[in-house]
């Protein structure tokens, strides 16, 4: 083909998927794949631009609108009269209405920080998590028993913090979410964040968000570079081709491609074996390619010269067989020996030699580089370091990650595309407004010269129009006459009249209203209302209405945030799998571990074992302003009511997951209420104890008082008794003395009496003896008388007493 010739892209179809590996590895197979992609995207029929460059032009136009740099020519055609602009002198510069809305959305999305979260899904991780959960549940169940031990033994038998042990299943879920994290999971998250940081992913994400707003699709790419590690790249959607899809996540795309224009000298880096003749042939196609696609008018530099080439870098998914010869080893175990796809021994041989053939279908990706518009393919090979999920190793994921939030029949619906019509009308209203403003005539005056000529000021001078004008502008007054010198009515008696030009003002107000109308149309079509676009809110609207409007606006653009989350999550999953490959296969494994673990030395050992784990990756998104304000409002209300304390509020505010923070706030409120109820019960018990102690003290005091009174009375009684005793003793002593005296007297008296009695008895005895003697004497006398017959004798006593006693005995003698 000679220079400047037109390309004739022939029809091509994709090759058969189920061919042998040798056929798949051949350059002819790769060339057929590349030509099929070229036919689908780069074929231009009947002077029309190809699908790729037609979409490329649409994306380019949207990006110009997004920057406020769309061509002025379309507006000049609207304003010009029959194409003539010679009588129009206005400022054609574009007013940047659309960039404001784009920046609001993109910057709002970038405020939502994303944090990768790794969760172990393998059996070992599940066992560790289950063991920890069993420990927590064990302490939950045995809390009362352990507290009893602690109370009686005086030692703490709890393994966990006693105050933080959950009380129910809901609290257990929150506790595990907040407190359990394997060291390997932390190391995995640290490694992912470190790789994202090294690749400046925040800036990549900003560009992706802008693409989602501008062109409705965002794409990133991940690769493994020897000596560097995992590499993530931003991909311009305008340069990408992919198989037809109606899925927003684009997971069903079986090929991806990226168009790049590079200098010819760089081709040798792609294919070192390329010959000078082939380079000359590629050079001959260069200018023709851009002429064929009608793109040279987009650039005014030397980019599209014969020294450049337009290449298609493409990935293609196909299938391969993994064939194994399974034979029984001497130990009794099965041994799998990898074989080629052509390995197909007859059944008799397998039965005779006692082995089996096992096949497994595997997805695989090939990568190639093709010079567009030619039959030259520079590279075609099976992709190295493919990403395969641990749980589904038969699948392989593409290096490209894309998302189209609003897709229909394979085409996106970007926000900027919704704004373009209204933005055009805003620009036209702005230009018309300039036209009207340029044609507005200032207010003036009308002077009737004939009326002025009839006036004589009386000083011999004529009152001419110039003096009337000076007088009018200086004083606001003017001199006129009702009648002429001839006495006739003067029709020019008001020589100066004001001329008002108000027609332009109404048109200006109309155009301003029209501009605001189309601006409101942008808000209606995009959902970016005044509460979010930076305009002054309606002062008559309530605060709650404003918040609701802002929330509705966030909802209208939620699909863009979800797209960014999805792309980031898939990228983090791919990075996670590539980290496992690095730790298992890469020669710079130790250097990678040291680089990632430099921030935290404790992660070095867990990181060295990450390839043994299977992690599930999800993204935690920081809450937006509305969610933060709602949470802060709940915390404020809880603080005011005393449901939580300051430390609890700080802990809740530091949690980025709004759902978890809300659950924790609920748990803290319940815990605080339970604590207050417990304290109230304790206080009530203390009050009861205090009352009992007071009563006991009062009773004790009363008893002490009674005892004191009793003691006092006893002492009084004792004193009285002692006094009585003393008195009695004294009395007894006195009586004793008296009795002694009496005794002595009585003794004496008795002595006297005894003596008297004795004397009397003696006297009696003596008298008795005398009587007896006298009787004896008288008897003797009587006997003598009888014997002698003597005369009677007188025996009477001279004592005049019966008992022998008389007072005569006491008379003095």
589-596 helix and 183-198 helix, angle to the nearest 10 degrees: 90
Q: Mean pLDDT of all residues in the chain? A: 79
Instruction: Report the pLDDT value the prediction gives residue 604, as an integer from 0 to 100.
Output: 60
Q: Which residues of 783-801 are buried (b: 16+ CB within 10 A; e: fewer)?
A: eeeeeeeeeeeeeeeeeee
Reference 390, options 589, 617, 129; nearest CA is: 617
DSSP-assigned beta bridge partners for residue 81: 84
* Alpha-carbon gap, residue 26 to 15, rounded angstroms: 12
Out of 189-193, 516-520, 760-764, which region has the weakest mean confidence (pLDDT)?
760-764
Cα torsion 93, 95, 98, 103: sign: positive
* Alpha-carbon gap, residue 555 to 52, rounded angstroms: 32
Contact 7, 45 (CB under 8 A): no
Contact 507, 529 (CB under 8 A): no
pLDDT at 300 > cutoff 70: no
pLDDT at 602 > cutoff 70: no
pLDDT at 568 > cutoff 50: yes
Instruction: Report the pLDDT value the prediction gives residue 186, as an integer from 0 to 100.
Output: 86
Instruction: Report the pLDDT value the prediction gives residue 813, as an integer from 0 to 100.
Output: 47
Mean pLDDT of 635-653: 83
How many C-beta neighbours within 10 Å does residue 26 have?
15
Instruction: Report the pLDDT value the prediction gives residue 564, as an integer from 0 to 100.
Output: 93
Mean pLDDT of 467-471: 76
* Alpha-carbon gap, residue 672 to 658, rounded angstroms: 20
* Alpha-carbon gap, residue 723 to 147, rounded angstroms: 66
How many C-beta neighbours within 10 Å does residue 761 have?
12
Within 13 Å, how many C-alpha atoms sit on residue 419's CB side?
32
Could you tell me how many residues make up the chain?
A: 813
pLDDT at 725 > cutoff 50: yes
Mean pLDDT of 499-521: 83
Contact 165, 140 (CB under 8 A): yes
More confident residue, 19 or 344: 19
Which pair of tokens denotes residue 546?
A: 């404003």
User: What is the H or E stretch that residue 400 is in?
Assistant: strand 400-403
Out of 172-176, 494-498, 802-806, which region has the weakest mean confidence (pLDDT)?
802-806
Which pair of tokens denotes residue 259?
A: 């168009």
* Alpha-carbon gap, residue 614 to 124, rounded angstroms: 9
**If DSSP states are collapsed to H, E and C, what string results for 197-231?**
HHCCHHHHHHHHHHHHHHCCCEEEEEEEECCCEEE
- Residue 71, classed as helix, strand or coil, is coil
Instruction: Report the pLDDT value the prediction gives residue 217, as an integer from 0 to 100.
Output: 96
Q: CB-based burial of residue 779 (10 Å sphere; 0-12 exposed, 13-18 middle, 19+ buried)? A: exposed
Write the CB contacts of 256 (distance below 8 Å, at least 6 apart in sequence).
Answer: 240, 241, 242, 243, 314, 315, 398, 399, 400
How many C-beta neighbours within 10 Å does residue 381 have?
11
State residue 377 phi and psi, 5-degree precision.
Answer: -115, 125
Instruction: Report the pLDDT value the prediction gives residue 485, as an integer from 0 to 100.
Output: 67
Reference 7, options 411, 292, 350; nearest CA is: 292
pLDDT at 534 > cutoff 60: no
Q: What percent of the chain has pLDDT over 90?
A: 19
Mean pLDDT of 491-498: 73
pLDDT band at 458, cuts 50/70/90? Answer: low
More confident residue, 583 or 36: 36
How many C-beta neighbours within 10 Å does residue 449 have?
11
* Alpha-carbon gap, residue 547 to 553, rounded angstroms: 10
DSSP-assigned beta bridge partners for residue 408: 411
Instruction: Note the pTM of the prediction, 2 decimals.
Output: 0.74
pLDDT at 253 > cutoff 70: yes
Greatest mean pLDDT among 70-74, 123-127, 232-236, 624-628 lies in: 232-236
How many C-beta neighbours within 10 Å does residue 140 have?
17
- Interstrand relation of 407-408 and 411-412 (parallel, antiparallel or unpaired): antiparallel
pLDDT at 541 > cutoff 50: no
* Alpha-carbon gap, residue 549 to 533, rounded angstroms: 11
Contact 285, 261 (CB under 8 A): no
Start-to-end C-alpha separation, the chain: 213
Q: What percent of the chain has pLDDT over 70?
A: 84
Reference 255, options 26, 564, 36; nearest CA is: 36
Which residue's entry shows tokens 């939580």?
644
Mean pLDDT of 543-553: 45
Instruction: Report the pLDDT value the prediction gives residue 351, as an integer from 0 to 100.
Output: 66
Contact 560, 212 (CB under 8 A): yes
Mean pLDDT of 629-654: 82
pLDDT at 542 > cutoff 60: no
- Interstrand relation of 218-225 and 229-235 (parallel, antiparallel or unpaired): antiparallel
More confident residue, 479 or 206: 206
More confident residue, 18 or 102: 102
Which pair of tokens denotes residue 69?
A: 């740099």
* Alpha-carbon gap, residue 279 to 264, rounded angstroms: 7
Instruction: Report the pLDDT value the prediction gives residue 148, as an integer from 0 to 100.
Output: 84
Which residue's entry shows tokens 């299977």?
614
* Alpha-carbon gap, residue 626 to 616, rounded angstroms: 29
- Residue 362, classed as helix, strand or coil, is strand
Task: Please report the DSSP string for 522-556 in residue order.
Answer: HHHHH---TTTSSPPPPTTS-HHHHHHHHHHHHHH
In the chain, domain spans: 1-48+254-397, 417-555
How many C-beta neighbours within 10 Å does residue 691 have?
10
pLDDT at 1 > cutoff 50: no
Contact 113, 96 (CB under 8 A): no
pLDDT band at 391, cuts 50/70/90? Answer: low
Task: Please report the DSSP string for 296-330 in residue order.
Answer: GGG--SSSSSTTEEEEEEEEEEEEEEEEEEEEE-T
Mean pLDDT of 388-394: 73
* Alpha-carbon gap, residue 444 to 491, rounded angstroms: 21
Contact 385, 574 (CB under 8 A): no
More confident residue, 802 or 324: 324
Mean pLDDT of 778-795: 71
Instruction: Report the pLDDT value the prediction gives residue 461, as an integer from 0 to 100.
Output: 64
Write out pLDDT tens, residues 73-100: 888 888 887 777 777 888 889 999 899 9
Which pair of tokens denotes residue 567?
A: 């792309």
* Alpha-carbon gap, residue 795 to 652, rounded angstroms: 152
Mean pLDDT of 510-514: 90
Contact 453, 490 (CB under 8 A): no
Which pair of tokens denotes residue 41?
A: 């995207």
Contact 214, 64 (CB under 8 A): no
More confident residue, 31 or 724: 31
* Alpha-carbon gap, residue 31 to 15, rounded angstroms: 10
CA distances from 118 to 189, 223, 514 (A): 6, 21, 53
Instruction: Report the pLDDT value the prediction gives residue 416, as an integer from 0 to 100.
Output: 94
pLDDT band at 387, cuts 50/70/90? Answer: confident
Q: Using alpha carbons only, how large is the chain's radius of gyration in Å?
A: 64
pLDDT at 551 > cutoff 50: no
pLDDT at 634 > cutoff 50: yes
Write out pLDDT tens, residues 327-374: 776 666 777 777 777 777 777 777 666 677 777 788 899 999 998 888
Instruction: Report the pLDDT value the prediction gives residue 797, as an integer from 0 to 100.
Output: 53
More confident residue, 218 or 89: 218
Instruction: Report the pLDDT value the prediction gives residue 163, as an integer from 0 to 100.
Output: 76
**If DSSP states are collapsed to H, E and C, what string results for 430-479?**
HHHHHHHHHHCCCCEEEECHHHHHCCECCCCCECCHHHHHHHHHHHCCCC
* Alpha-carbon gap, residue 537 to 497, rounded angstroms: 45
């Amino acid at each position: 083909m000679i220079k400047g010739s037109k390309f004739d892209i022939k029809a091509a179809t994709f090759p058969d998927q189920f061919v042998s590996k040798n056929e798949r590895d051949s350059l002819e197979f790769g060339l057929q794949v590349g030509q099929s992609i070229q036919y689908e995207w780069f074929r231009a029929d009947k002077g029309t631009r190809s699908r790729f460059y037609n979409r490329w032009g649409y994306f380019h136009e949207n990006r110009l609108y997004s920057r406020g740099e769309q061509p002025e020519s379309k507006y000049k055609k609207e304003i010009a009269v029959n194409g003539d602009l010679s009588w129009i002198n206005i400022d054609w510069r574009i007013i940047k209405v659309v960039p404001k809305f784009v920046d609001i959305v993109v910057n709002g999305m970038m405020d939502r920080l994303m944090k990768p979260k790794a969760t172990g899904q393998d059996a070992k991780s599940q066992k560790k998590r289950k063991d920890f959960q069993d420990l927590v549940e064990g302490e939950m169940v045995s809390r009362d028993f352990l507290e009893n031990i602690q109370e009686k033994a005086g030692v703490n038998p709890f393994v966990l913090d006693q105050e933080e042990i959950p009380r129910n299943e809901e609290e257990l879920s929150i506790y595990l979410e907040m407190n359990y994290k394997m060291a390997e999971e932390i190391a995995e998250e640290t490694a992912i964040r470190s790789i994202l940081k090294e690749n400046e992913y925040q800036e990549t994400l900003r560009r992706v968000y802008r693409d989602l707003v501008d062109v409705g699709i965002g794409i990133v790419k991940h690769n493994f570079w020897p000596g560097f590690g995992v590499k993530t790249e931003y991909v311009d959607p305008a340069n990408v081709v992919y198989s037809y899809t109606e899925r927003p996540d684009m997971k069903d795309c079986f090929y991806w491609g990226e168009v790049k224009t590079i200098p010819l000298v760089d081709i040798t880096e792609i294919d070192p074996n390329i010959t000078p003749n082939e380079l000359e042939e590629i050079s001959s196609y260069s200018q023709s390619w851009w002429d064929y696609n009608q793109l040279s008018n987009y650039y005014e530099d030397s980019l599209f010269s014969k020294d450049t080439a337009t290449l298609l870098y493409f990935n293609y998914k196909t299938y391969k067989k993994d064939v194994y010869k399974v034979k029984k080893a001497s130990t009794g175990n099965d041994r799998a020996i990898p074989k080629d796809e052509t390995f197909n021994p007859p059944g008799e041989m397998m039965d005779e030699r006692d082995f089996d053939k096992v096949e497994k279908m595997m997805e695989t990706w090939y990568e190639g580089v093709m010079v567009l518009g030619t039959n030259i393919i520079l590279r075609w090979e099976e992709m190295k370091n493919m990403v395969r999920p641990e749980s589904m190793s038969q699948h392989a994921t593409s290096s490209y990650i894309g998302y189209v939030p609003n897709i229909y029949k394979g085409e996106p619906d970007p926000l900027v595309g919704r704004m373009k019509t209204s933005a055009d009308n805003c620009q036209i209203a702005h230009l018309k407004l300039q036209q009207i403003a340029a044609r507005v005539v200032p207010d003036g005056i009308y002077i009737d010269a004939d009326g002025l000529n009839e006036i004589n000021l009386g000083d011999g001078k004529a009152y001419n129009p110039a003096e009337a004008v000076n007088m009018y502008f200086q004083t606001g007054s003017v001199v006129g006459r009702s009648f002429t010198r001839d006495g006739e009515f003067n029709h020019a008696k008001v020589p100066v009249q004001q001329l008002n030009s108000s027609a332009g003002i109404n048109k200006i107000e109309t155009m301003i209203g029209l501009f605001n109308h189309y601006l409101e149309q942008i808000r209606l079509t995009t959902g970016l209302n005044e509460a979010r676009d930076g305009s002054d809110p309606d002062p008559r609207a309530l605060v709650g209405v404003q918040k609701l409007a802002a929330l509705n606006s966030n909802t209208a653009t939620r699909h863009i945030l979800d797209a960014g989350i999805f792309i980031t999550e898939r990228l983090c999953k791919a990075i996670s799998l590539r980290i496992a490959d690095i730790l298992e296969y890469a020669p710079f494994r130790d250097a990678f571990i040291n680089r990632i673990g430099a921030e935290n030395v404790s992660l070095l050992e867990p990181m060295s074992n990450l390839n043994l784990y299977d992690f599930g990756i999800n993204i935690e998104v920081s809450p937006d302003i509305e969610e933060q304000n709602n949470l802060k409002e709940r915390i404020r209300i809880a603080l005011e009511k005393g449901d939580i304390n300051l430390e609890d509020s700080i802990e809740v505010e530091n949690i980025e997951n709004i759902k978890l923070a809300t659950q924790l706030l609920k748990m803290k409120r319940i815990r605080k209420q339970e604590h207050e109820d417990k304290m109230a019960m304790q206080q009530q018990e203390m009050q009861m104890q205090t009352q009992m102690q007071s009563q006991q003290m009062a009773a004790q005091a009363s008893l002490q008082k009674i005892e004191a009174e009793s003691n006092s009375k006893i002492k009084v009684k004792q004193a009285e008794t002692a006094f009585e005793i003393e008195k009695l003793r004294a009395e007894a002593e006195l009586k004793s003395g008296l009795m002694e005296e009496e005794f002595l007297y009585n003794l004496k008296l008795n002595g006297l009496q005894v003596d008297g009695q004795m004397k009397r008895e003696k006297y009696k005895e003596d008298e008795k003896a005398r009587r007896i003697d006298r009787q004896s004497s008288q008897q003797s006398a009587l006997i003598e008388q009888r014997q002698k017959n003597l005369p009677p004798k007188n025996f009477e006593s001279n004592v005049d007493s019966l008992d022998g006693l008389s007072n005569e005995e006491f008379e003095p003698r």
